[in-house]
């Protein structure tokens, strides 16, 4: 698969992102990160940008861990039903 290069803006900063995802997917991910950073910045307006970024990363990592756990549970349930 070809690597897509996209210009995105996250939390007021411009980035060039290159990846295997489609342009639409790269833009969607950038919008999600941007949205979450602004939500955290609204809740904690005195935090420096780098701390907003770290809290955003922690929240996203927590969401990912929960989704993986849910997926594992579903896969186990599906495995039990097919046996």
What is the pLDDT, as a whole number, of residue 83? 62
What is the pLDDT, as a whole number, of residue 1? 63
Helical H segments across 3-48, by residue range: 23-43
- Read off the tokens for 60: 């996203």
- Mean pLDDT for 2-9 is 90
| Of 71, 51, 74, 73, nearest in space to 63 by CA | 71
> 0.75 exceeded by the pTM?
yes
Reported as a single tens digit per residue, the pLDDT across 15-34 is: 999 999 999 999 999 999 99
Handedness of CA 42, 32, 67, 17 (dihedral sign): negative
Neighbouring residues of 56: CB distance < 8 A, sequence distance ≥ 6: 33, 36, 37, 40
For the CA atoms of 18, 55, 41, 26, what is the dihedral angle to 10 degrees?
20
d(CA 80, CA 83): 5
- In the predicted structure, residue 44 carries a pLDDT above the cut 70: yes
């Amino acid at each position: 698969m070809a690597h897509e290069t996209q210009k995105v803006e996250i939390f007021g900063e411009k980035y060039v992102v290159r990846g295997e995802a489609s342009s639409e997917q790269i833009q969607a991910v950038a919008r999600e990160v941007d949205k979450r950073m602004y939500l955290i910045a609204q809740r904690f307006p005195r935090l420096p940008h780098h701390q907003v970024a770290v809290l955003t990363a922690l929240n996203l990592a927590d969401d990912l861990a929960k989704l993986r756990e849910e997926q594992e549970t579903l896969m186990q349930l599906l495995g039990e039903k097919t046996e």
